[in-house]
Each structure stands twice: as C-alpha cells, then as structure tokens.
Amino acid sequence: MLGRLLHGRPHAAAPGAIGHARAYEVFAAIALAGRRRRLYGRLVALSGARPGERVLDVGCGTGYLARMMARTVGPEGSVLGVDPSVPMIRYAREHTREAGCVFTEGFAEDLDAPESAFDVVVTSLAVHHFPEEKRGQAIKEMFRVLRPGGRVLIADFRPPVGGSAQRLVGALAGPVMRHNPVHLLEPFAREAGFRELDSGDLRPFLHYVRGVKPGGQAGRGCRGGVTG
Ligand SMILES: C[S@@+](CC[C@H](N)C(=O)[O-])C[C@H]1O[C@@H](n2cnc3c(N)ncnc32)[C@H](O)[C@@H]1O
C-alpha cells in the first residue's frame, strides 16, 4: 500500500527509487509526527559538518537533509544531493533556496564524482533502497569520494523488534523495511576502509554509523556528538 503510493508500484519486495516526491513528503511528516526537524538536526550534528565544508548527501530524496546541511556549512560551503529519482530531484530543486545547495541524478553505487571531492558524506533512510547486492559498493563509493580525514554518517531505518510492530511495518512498507539488516552497515563501513567507527540509535527508528577516512586532518575529535 505504502509502496504503491511512494514508488508508483506495489512495494518494495525489491528496493529502488521513489517515484512520488510529494507523497513521500506527506508520509515523512506523518511518520515523524512533528519530530522531523529535530531528528534531522541530530543527523546534522552527528555528521560534524562545519562552515565552509563540502557535503555529499547520497539518496537525498526531496532534499530535506541537504537543505539543513547547507544552512550549517553556509555560503562558503557546498552541498550536493544525489538521487536516481527524477521526481525527487525536481522536487528538491524546486524547494531549495539555500546558497551552494544543488542536486543531480545519480546512483550511490556509481557516484559521478572524483576522489577526495568532499569533506563529509551523509545518507539518511536511503541504504535500504539501494539494491541489496550493491550496498557494500555504495559505501565504498562514499569512501572514495571523501578526502582523507573526511567523515561519513550513514543513517537508515531500524525495524522494530516487537512482533506486532514488526508486522505493522511489514504490512505498511513491505519486507525490505521489515527486515532491513542495519547491523550490516558497520561491517560495510569497515570493509570500505572507514575507521574510528561508532554507531547508535536515534528515536523513533534510525540506526546510524559514523566513520572517518584515514589520513589527513579532522578525525573523531572534530565530530559533533548527540544522544538519541
Ligand atoms: C526513503 S527516501 C530518503 C530520502 C532522504 N534521504 C530523506 O532522508 O528524506 C530514499 C531515497 O533513496 C533513493 N534511492 C533509491 N535507490 C538509490 C540508489 N541506488 N542510489 C541512491 N539513491 C537511491 C530513492 O529514490 C529515495 O529518494
């Protein structure tokens, strides 16, 4: 049901791009019940982004997080949002006024960006949309495009543990979200080469992993911290 609304096809027995940007915005507002700004503010803080930095948002969707990141890095910084969905990118462009915040079509597993192009890479609620066999490759791409010393923040949907809540997620959103293997994010990040890894949960339903690309400056000591 949710899948048909968002994807324009029955849900996500398989992952994929989201086709209906406005429906996604309505769904996000309802699912987060007024807590979206606070939750995404925590993601911004966890990313450790600072004024003047270059940020990449992978699977940016409608650009909500990208815009918040842009306000944090300011006009001296820049934010690039990447998503394969044409409607999502169009919506993001139409709703963005922040300086230096731009959007382009593209795939996480094959980023069209040179090595070391960014100081910070973020991704929220997107990894479970990547094809399962390409998730490790996508995180390797995040590593490649970060400069040495650059930081990654990977946040994704954490399924509930209880039986009835899990069944509800399954009924509404399908098996991809119900069984989302967020415990694999940290091994993927380690395999990609990230170090100084840490992870945690944010209410109501996010799990995150942070890491640093070895070399260069600005390791963990420069990262922001919040509690869930
Ligand atoms: C649930 S939305 C999250 C959007 C946004 N990051 C947020 O937090 O609101 C997931 C997004 O991942 C995108 N996506 C799907 N497959 C992708 C891929 N292979 N590479 C990058 N993004 C992808 C979808 O099109 C969709 O916009």
Which amino acid, residue 75?
P
Here the tokens at position 36 are 């979206």
Per-residue confidence (pLDDT) for residue 3, from 0 to 100: 55
Residue-wise pLDDT for 109-130, tens only, equals 999 999 999 999 999 999 999 9
- Nearest Cα residue to atom 25 of ligand 1: 17
Q: How many residues does the chain have?
A: 228
In the chain, which stretches have pLDDT less than 70?
A: 1-14, 167, 170-171, 218-228
**Ligand 1 atom closest to residue 134's alpha carbon, by position in its atom list:** 19
Would strands 195-202 and 146-157 be described as parallel, antiparallel, or unpaired? Answer: unpaired
- Nearest Cα residue to atom 13 of ligand 1: 59
Measure Cα distances from 169 to 61, 173, 210 in Å: 21, 5, 26
- Nearest Cα residue to atom 23 of ligand 1: 59
Q: Is 118 in the pocket of ligand 1 (CB under 6 A)?
A: no
Residue-wise pLDDT for 54-66, tens only, equals 999 999 999 999 9
Superfamily in which the 2-222 domain is placed by CATH: Vaccinia Virus protein VP39 (3.40.50.150)
Q: Is 125 in the pocket of ligand 1 (CB under 6 A)?
A: yes
Phi, psi dihedral angles at 80 (to 5 degrees): -115, 125
Strand partners, 122: 57, 153
Residue-wise pLDDT for 130-143, tens only, equals 999 999 999 999 99
Per-residue confidence (pLDDT) for residue 218, from 0 to 100: 56
Of 48, 66, 40, which Cα lies nearest the Cα of 149?
48
Residue 205 CB partners (closer than 8 Å, separation 6+): 157, 158, 159, 160
Q: Which long-range contacts (CB under 8 A, 24 or more apart) does 191-199 make?
A: 191/136, 191/139, 191/140, 192/136, 192/139, 192/140, 192/142, 192/143, 193/140, 193/143, 194/139, 194/143, 194/152, 196/220
Domain range annotation of the chain: 2-222
Per-residue confidence (pLDDT) for residue 99, from 0 to 100: 95
Per-residue confidence (pLDDT) for residue 36, from 0 to 100: 95
Probe target for ligand 1 pocket from 83, 130, 145, 157, with the most ligand atoms within 8 Å of CB: 83
User: Reduced to 3 states, what is the DSSP secondary structure of residue 81?
Assistant: strand
Per-residue confidence (pLDDT) for residue 211, from 0 to 100: 98
Here the tokens at position 183 are 């415990």
* Distance between Cα 74 and ligand 1 center (Å): 24
Per-residue confidence (pLDDT) for residue 173, from 0 to 100: 74
Per-residue confidence (pLDDT) for residue 33, from 0 to 100: 85
